[in-house]
Structure 1
Amino acid sequence: MGLSKLYHAKQISILKRALREDWYMMINHGAVRAGKTQLDNDLFLLELRRAKKNAKHDGVETPMYILGATSGGTLQTNILRELSDKYGIDFKFDKHGNFMLFGVYVVTTFTGSIAGLRSIRGMTAYGAYINEATLANKEVFDEIRKRCSGSGARIICDTNPDHPNHWLKVDYIDKADGKSIIANHFTVFDNTFLNQRYIDNLIATTPSGMFIERGIYGRWVSSAGAIYSDYDKAIHEVDELPELVGYFAGVDWGFDHYGSIVIVGVDCNGHYYLVDGVAEKGCYIDWWVDCAKSFQKKYGNITFYADSARHEHVERFNDEKIVTINANKSVIAGIETIAKLFKERKLFIKRGVIPRFFDEIYQYQWKSNSSGDEPLKEFDDVLDALRYAIYSRITGTGSHIKLFKGGF
């Protein structure tokens, strides 16, 4: 079988270069679905064989190699399961979560937090593969780099882009010289195995601005301007609601600034509707308890996904038999989820439902700084409550969710 049946042209070019030249670090970065991880997974197998050969010259019988991923879930999903399905490899883990392959002892580490240092300190590695490198803790990444001191050790990485001042871009990609460090940029259009219908749909459903620049074109761009730039009152504001099969709520606590409770309904097609809620300043917890209970009377014993910053308020709600769960507060992932729902026309707002929402939706902006992606903490109170509710619901945050109207 020819290489063109397995890889697209850019992958073939990179693969040949990886095998032909000597280098220290190769970073494959860019758009989603471009084939970066697929290529690095196969390079990983080739690098293990190379590590075994290099170690033999050093008189090392069982060399070690580092395999890094942000979590156990991403390690399994992005790498091990893909390789197992593709090549039938049966990974047998020891009590430390590591495994032998091709005579190399592969040490797994989770790069998403500083705890990842524990599994690699003091070791001599003959190479490393770091998946989703921009999500890695910088100290863990640096430690992996330092551990790769075996003869001929090389590091391969893949990642989607982040903001242009991310340490991976500034310290490594921008310093790529094509010799010691090789950086390969991908767009979604590089993957010629994707059909045009998929690409068109991917573009149509990716939120405008930063998300499409990074996700489709693989560009390291800053967040800027309105956060929910795809919101259109002519599309997303509705007077009539369809039959809704269930409801849930989001809570953003506030006193000096607005606090908010939002009620979200969902129809049988999985479309979300902001149907009710409140936003007020200067109100104590007793007032919020009364509000929540009034919503319970109206919509049933629904779940409230609340900001965990005021844990005493969460406890008070639960003491009052208001089912309340700490929300999943992941900012960028949550914003992208809401923005995607607006783009796909799957999130609608009942016209006039919470006046504060209509003040916020056009004024919620990205912060103008160079340190990363961060929204301004202005005009965000109802929108935070909405994000807590929907993103928590979609990601399945909480385990004791109450059902309403059977099936939801």
Structure 2
Amino acid sequence: MNLDHLPMSRKQVLSIAASFDARITCWSGAVRSGKTIGSLVAFLIHLSRAPQTGLVLICGRTLQTIERNILEPMQDPALFGPIADFVHHTRGAPTATILGRTVHLIGASDARAEGRLRGLTACLALLDEATLVPEGFFSQMLARLSVPGARALLTTNPDGPGHWLRKNFILRAADLDMAHFHFTLDDNPTLSDEYVAAIKAENVGVFYRRFVLGEWCMAEGAIYDMWDADKCVVDEIPPIWRWLGVGIDYGTTNAFSALLVGMDASQTLYVVSEYRHDSKTTRRQLTDVEYSLQVRAWLANYGVQPESVVVDPSAASFMQQLQRDGISPTPADNAVLDGIRTVSSVMAAGRLKVHRSCTGLINELPSYSWDPKAAKRGVDAPIKEADHSADALRYLVRTTEGTWRRPNGLQAPRVQHSTELDLMTAVM
């Protein structure tokens, strides 16, 4: 197996070598730090030498993440040269053929996934995104590796210090026949200086410590500790070049919040206006029909057609009502931590401004905090109170990221308000 064309750091080489002496080898650390490539090279070498007794497994949170994170890189000739021709998989299929060996692909999105492992015998397992699978699944996977010389290889980004993988395995590595290698962003020799600088700029706070430095650290305190109302709250809106969309967090007994967001020529995002209805304050709950009517009337004040209307994915009936009323909604990307990280990066870069009229959002952002009770369980989660406008912002910014981050996103400006006066009249 010739991989001379693939640049490898000393740490990657050492980790691959260590995997032959340890039952479990864990690559943890920053994003794009080289840990996945190290684990894939180790997996291919082990697979070429694996005994014919016992199954070979590749596990991950979902089949889709396995395909994206594991199979697609192995099929890339730029990474693995002629070896890529020996990696065969039909998208969506539960097995792949790698180096002539059948490999079983197992997703583990919830506790029930443990049952998919029961009864089988394995000689080799590769686990992607280990912190995202249930502990019961991980323990069952290890129990299935009963063939003499069986190996478990796993990769992960770090999580909180109380996560079960760190407490029960990494900290006990010496007692468990386990090798652990910690990677930082600077450990990857193939990344350009520009890319490394961009990743460092896009991650702030706890996300910088985890995804750049590779630290297992707790998410605590204010989530948006970079929020500065003096700098972020504005009284005037510049000409908007592109109306990215409306983010909606649906509520009946809780508050309903909708935010209109546009982008100016400098690629700064502006929360221009907020529609909010709180039944606890008004003492009146609205129906889907009434919410749709009010949102459409609110948008009509601006005379604009936002590119997307991004809605809380759990609000199925409300999305159906919008569809009946001529609006095609987009279910929001509700990956909470990814969304928070995206909003944090924009906020820290000074690329998020909020008009002073958006009082619900302005009041929520300073108090939006990590849940200390969840942190003790090794889980990162916001406190679920006073977060409706914050959620609407997260939905919109995260779901439209492919638009506003695109380098050429402003080459064809869509100016729908030509003057500040037009826009300020609508806001007021």
The answer to whether the 8 A contact 1:249-1:262 is kept is yes
* Contact map agreement 1:31 1:188 (CA 8 A) in 2: yes
1:203 pairs, out of 200, 208, 215, with 200
Q: Does 1:67 align with 2:58?
A: yes
Q: CA 1:310–1:83 in 2, change beyond 3 Å: closer, same or farther?
A: closer
1:5-404 superposed matches below 5 A: 6-19=7-20, 21=21, 23-52=22-51, 55=52, 60=53, 63-84=54-75, 85=77, 86-88=80-82, 89-90=84-85, 91-93=87-89, 96-114=93-111, 116-117=113-114, 120-177=117-174, 180-207=177-204, 209-238=205-234, 239-267=236-264, 270-282=267-279, 283=284, 284-285=286-287, 287-297=290-300, 298-302=302-306, 303-350=308-355, 352-369=356-373, 370-371=376-377, 372-394=379-401
Q: Which amino acid aligns with 2:37?
A: Q
Distance 2:244 2:74 in 1: 41
How many pairs does the alignment contain?
388
Taking structure 1 as reference, are residues 80 and 320 closer, same or farther at Cα in structure 2, changes over 3 Å only?
Answer: closer
Where in structure 1 are there 5+ consecutive unaligned residues? 397-403
| Matched-pair identity in % | 25
Maintained 8 Å contact 1:64/1:104 = no
For residue 407 of structure 2, what is the aligned residue in structure 1? none
Letter in structure 2 aligned against 1:356: G
Two-structure CA RMSD over aligned residues (Å): 3.0
Quick one: structure 1 residues 240 and 326, their matched pair in 2 at CA, closer, same or farther if it must change by over 3 Å? closer
* Secondary structure of the structure 2 residue equivalent to 1:243: coil
TM-superposed deviation, 1:205 = 2.4
SS class of match (1:251): strand
Specify whether residues 257 and 71 from structure 1 end up closer, same or farther in structure 2 by C-alpha distance, changes over 3 A only: closer
For residue 66 of structure 2, what is the amino acid of its counterpart? Answer: L
CA contact (8 A) 1:301 1:322 kept: no
How much does 1:197 deviate? 4.4
User: TM-score by structure 2 length?
Assistant: 0.81
Query: SS of 1:176's equivalent?
Result: helix
Native 8 Å contact 2:201 2:345 kept in 1: no
How far is 1:192 from its partner?
4.2
In structure 2, the gaps of 5 or more residues are 404-412, 417-428
TM-score by length of 1: 0.84
How far is the alpha carbon of 1:270 from its aligned partner? 4.8
Question: 2:257 & 2:23 partners in 1: Cα distance?
Answer: 52
8 Å contact from structure 1 (residues 51, 104) kept in 2: no
Shift of 1:79: 2.0
**What letter matches 2:391 in structure 1?**
D
Q: What is the deviation of 1:180? A: 0.8
